[in-house]
Structure 1
Amino acid sequence: MNFSNDNVFISVKDYSVSGENFELLLDEELQLLKTHPQPSTVNLPKYYESDDYISHTDGKRSLFEKAYHFIKRKAIRDKVALITSLQPQKGQLLDIGAGTGDFLQEAKNQNWNCVGIEPSEKAKTIAMGKGVSFAGDLTTLENNSFDVITMWHVLEHVPDLENYIFELKRLLKPDGTLLIAVPNYKSFDAQYYGKFWAAYDVPRHLWHFSKISIEKLFANQNMKLVKVLPMVFDSFYVSLLSEKYKTGKMNFISGFLIGLQSNLKAKRNFEYSSHIYVIKND
């Protein structure tokens, strides 16, 4: 990867925790953005210390959180249906960044053999109360041991990106399926909101992907991108949060309209707010 401090794509701010400013550097060949500076592994956890970090809580304090969890329930059912369609013979499933465990709970109920990885002890405790099992970290798991590996909005949080992709390759069975969901900085809502785009989410998001960057990064490990799927709800969620960062208020109508416009434009250029990437061993 080739990043230069002279090649700044955009300057952005951490709106949810620290208020600190960061730059996003562009690797032009990979079409990949890198958050700069990246916090050390020692300092990174403090940027997650917020009651508003919604994936680490089951809270439903506001209308926004209630709407999030309502949509989340449908999205989880859709995700489990997707992995079953891609891998009909249900086997071993690893979910990295399992959060509060709702996806794994649903997959387990549908007869997948499930295990999760989650760094947040708070989220993990909630998930274990739902019957979800956890491994310590990737290095404790055996080679070629999973039929399906999922990372729902997690790869952007990984410090050592290239080594992590190597580990995913190691853990996946030869005929297994890897599903990666990440935001797309080339979407219309990203361009519209610019530095206020909530899915930049610095510095928790260390990397910012395009379709090209995903394809090339995994090709380097002899893995093939076989399908790209849209996440149509993400544009609405991200646009609502971006409205809050831009105006200080949750403008539901404006956020909804921009989210809708982003999806309509993406029907033509297939640059949705977020994508699911289906990846196989080459």
Structure 2
Amino acid sequence: MFHVKQKIKMIVKDHFLTGESFEIKKISKGVMSTFPKIDNKKLKPYYNSKSYYSHNTTSSIMSLLYSWSSRFMTKKKINLISSLLKNKDSLLDFGCGKGDFLLAAKKSGFDVAGIEFLSSLQKELNKKNIKFYEKLEQLSKSVSAITFWHSLEHLNDLNQTLILSRKNLKESGILIVAVPNYDSFDSKYYKCFWAAFDAPRHRFHFNKRGIINTVQKHGFKHLYNKPMFLDAIYISILSEKYKGSKMYFIKGLIVGLFSNLLALFTKQSSSNIFIFQKMN
């Protein structure tokens, strides 16, 4: 995919589940990747573990924080989509999970569908009566917008997915991508403990210029981007937990707030939402 010499940037562990170690290598300007490469079939167990989605069902501090921030961000996402699609048109969410965002969009008047390959999550989508596909190739008609809310970094077939996304978008359609930023303060502070590396589930890692260049070369125009300030707090708290800090919540909260403060000047937020438009 990228034809440059690969250099080991760091060794990171799967702090969330297995404790296995993985290499993160720079593969092009602004883009890193997780090694060894794992095909999608072998990667499924890293998602199918109940603990990966337990923050949705348990009552821990992290779960409550995640639940609140998720509801808050869903409203923000709907407002963003509504400002871009005035006619409440068709919307596809790639890696839609349990479908909470799509359900909210549906209630707001959008014609929604999702892409989800995990059978455990597909059951949740069926319960919510949300239409879904396992692959982009299965879409029967073009849509006005495609969203990747922290899902693009999970893909092995990054280039092909962007090619198909453009193909399945209507004329001047909107592509929205939310990804972590490894040039943020919290990334540099936590290094190999930074929760947003999330190896091996995150196959690719970007800085701001890296994600813009990656998407633009597939026939998209970058319109603008927006910071995701809550991500810095959640990721920093989780990173402190991975470090084994006794007061991980307080320490992570302080680091997350400081990262956000710096980002007001450096424009290097922990995560960002990038808005692109299909070039015809």
> What TM-score, normalized to structure 1?
0.94
Letter in 1 for 2:27: D
Q: Percent identity?
A: 37
> Aligned pair in 2 of structure 1 residues 105, 93: CA closer, same or farther (>3 Å)?
same
Once the two structures are overlaid, the 10-residue window that deviates more, 131-140 or 95-104, is 131-140
Query: For 1:53 and 1:66, how far apart are their aligned partners in 2?
Result: 15
Q: How many residues align?
A: 278
Equivalence for 2:197: 200
Gap regions ≥5 residues in structure 2: none
Q: For each residue in 1:152-193, what CA deviation from the matched residue of structure 2 results, as whole angstroms up to 9, or x when unmatched?
A: 000001111111110111111112111000111110000000
Query: For 1:249 and 1:4, how far apart are their aligned partners in 2?
Result: 40
Query: Within the alignment, does 1:158 sit opposite 2:155 as a pair?
Result: yes
Equivalence for 1:97: 95
Offset of residue 16 of structure 1: 1.2
Query: For 1:45 and 1:234, how far apart are their aligned partners in 2?
Result: 25
Query: For 1:214 and 1:72, how far apart are their aligned partners in 2?
Result: 23
Letter in 1 for 2:208: K
> Aligned pair in 2 of structure 1 residues 121, 17: CA closer, same or farther (>3 Å)?
same
Gap regions ≥5 residues in structure 1: none
Query: Within the alignment, does 1:223 sit opposite 2:220 as a pair?
Result: yes
> What TM-score, normalized to structure 2?
0.95
Once the two structures are overlaid, the 10-residue window that deviates more, 244-253 or 160-169, is 244-253
Offset of residue 136 of structure 1: 3.2
Contact 1:32 1:208 in 2 (8 A): yes
Query: Within the alignment, does 1:168 sit opposite 2:169 as a pair?
Result: no
> Aligned pair in 2 of structure 1 residues 222, 181: CA closer, same or farther (>3 Å)?
same
RMSD (CA atoms):
1.5
Match of 2:138 among 137, 140, 161: 140
Offset of residue 41 of structure 1: 2.3
Within 5 Å, which residues of 2 pair with 1:48-63? 48-54=47-53, 58-63=56-61
Q: For each residue in 1:72-128, what CA deviation from the matched residue of structure 2 results, as whole angstroms up to 9, or x when unmatched?
A: 111101101100001111111101111111100000001000011111221221232
Within 5 Å, which residues of 2 pair with 1:1-282? 1-5=2-6, 7-28=7-28, 30-54=29-53, 58-142=56-140, 145-247=142-244, 249=246, 251-282=248-279
Offset of residue 195 of structure 1: 0.4
Offset of residue 250 of structure 1: 5.9
Contact 1:101 1:124 in 2 (8 A): no
> 3-state DSSP class of the match of 1:119?
coil
